[in-house]
Copies of this chain bind each other. A is one copy, B any other.
């Protein structure tokens, strides 16, 4: 499916085919393809917990205010924004840039300083924004790649973050910007028409706000 058509026809679906297995390899293909996502300084500050086990999905549903799709989708991805993404990955990013000719070795220190300035300390607001925005870029790529693999999705943010962290052993300093339910549309279900979008004239201006 072409990219413009995919963007135009992707929908967030509420009713998933229940009990249909989504193979681990297919999930890996999905997460790997989407992983070509860009990120700030290429720091890739995201992690994913794939919830497939029926008992674990029941637990996730409980944390997601009892929304059926958290259990009914074949898999649910817990998208995790890692505020430690700068420290965890900066050296490898710079190694890669240096090796591929993006930067000269003597500029490593300058780049390390830039990243520290731009993304602040681990507990700062700018660091949280850094982690969340990049994880959302990856999330959007996942939703579109899913369409390309014949799958449907629903991004969810109706959940109790503390409950998910506790139940899935996720460290407290991480942020969970969303869950993504993945699977197939339940047979017999017809989607309602797409909900409203603003006319771009309302939110786009040229040259000044």
Contacts and interface: CB of A to CB of B under 8 A. Distances in A.
Interface of A: 1-4, 6-8, 10, 12, 24, 28, 31-38, 40, 42, 44, 46-53, 56, 80, 89, 92-93, 95-97, 100-102, 114, 118, 125, 128-130, 132-137, 139-141, 143-145, 147-149, 155, 157-158, 168-171, 175, 177-178, 192-198, 200, 203-209
Contact of A42 (B10, B50, B102, B196): B196
A59 to B, nearest CB: 10
A109 to B, nearest CB: 16
A170 B209 contact: yes
Given A44-B198, A144-B144, A192 B36 contact: no
Nearest to A39: B155
A135 to B, nearest CB: 8
A92 B145 contact: no
Contacts of A169: 208-209
B4 A145 contact: yes
Contacts of A145: 3-4, 7
Which of A132, A175, A192 is packed against the most chain B CB atoms within 10 Å?
Answer: A132
